[in-house]
Amino acid sequence: MELAFYADPLEKFVIKKDSTFALMKEAGERGHRIYAFCQHDLVLNGQNVHARVNGIELTGTEDHRWFDVRETEDRGLETFDAVIVRKDPPFDVEYLNSTYLLELSARKGARIFNRPDALRSHNEKLTIAQFPEFMVPTLVTADQEQLRSFHAEYRDIILKPLNAMGGDGVFRIGEDGLNLGAAIEILTASGRKAVMAQRYIPDIVEGDKRVLLINGQVVPFALARIPQKGEVRGNLAAGGTGRAQLLSERDRQIAETLAPVLADRGLFLVGLDIIGNWLTEVNVTSPTCFREIAQQTGFNVAGLFMDELEKTV
C-alpha cells in the first residue's frame, strides 16, 4: 500500500518513543510505501485538495538520520490507500481548518484515519462527558465564581485547558486554595476561555494509564505514566515514568464499553487516559505509548494497527 502520514515535521521526532515512527517502521517492514506531509503542505485549489508530500525511506537507524527523502510531489490524498492522521495538538484554528480540507478529500474518496469529522466531534477533554458513568465530578466553565465554588466543594482539584497536550497547563489546587485565583486567571484568560476542573484522584501516584483502542480492538496492556516526585502530571512529556501493565478489570470495562462506540464513529485509533477507576481523557489526534508498551511487554501495538488497517482498506 501507499500510506501518507499527516504529522509534525519528521526532523522533530524523538525516535526512541515516537509512535508515528513505530507505525512507519512497521509499514516499511511490510513492504508498504511511506509518505509524509505537514499541516502547511495542504492546499485547496478550486474543488481539489492536494498536499506536497515527501516519499521517504527508513534508513534503519534511530537517530536524526532515520529517514531519507525519496521524492517530493503534489498529490491528491485520494490517490493513497490510506491517510493516517498523526498531527499533535494543540487543536487550534489551523488544526480545525485542516480537518475541513481533509474532509473535502474524504468526499473525493480519500480514506482517512481518524476520520476528520470524528476528530472535530471529540474534544480530548470534553468527550468523557458522553460516558458519565466513568467520570469523576467535573466542571467546564470560564466563570471564576463557579470554579471557586467547585474547589470549595471538593477541596482538592485539578484545573486544565481544553486543547493542550502532554500535561501542559495542568494545575493541582489543594485544600488551602493556594494560587487558585492565579490559576483561574491564567487558564481562563481572565474569564474568556473555558477550562476543565476535576476532583483530584489520589490514584495518580500509581500512574495515569494510557489504554489504546485500535479499530474497536482493546490493546491488553496499558502504560501507567507515573509522576516524578513533586509532580501531579504523569505525562511522559512532563517527566513521568512509563510502566507497562496488564489492564485491570475496571480498565477493561471502560475500554470495552467505549471501543465499539468510538470505532463506529470513525475513530480508528484512540488513547484512553484512566486514573484509578476513572476515565479522564479520550485522545484522538495522535495517541502515543506504542513503543513503550512494545518494549516492555513484547506486544506489537503498531503490528495490530497495521493488521487492522490492511483489513479495512
Residues serving a catalytic function are 125, 160, 210, 225, 233, 273, 281, 283
Task: Please give the single-letter amino acid code of residue 272.
Answer: L
Give the whole-angstrom CA distance, residue 282 versus residue 270.
Answer: 7
Q: Cβ(165)–Cβ(95) under 8 Å?
A: no
| Cβ-based neighbours of 218, under 8 Å, separated by 6 or more | 211, 212, 247, 252, 255, 256, 259
Task: Please give the single-letter amino acid code of residue 297.
Answer: T
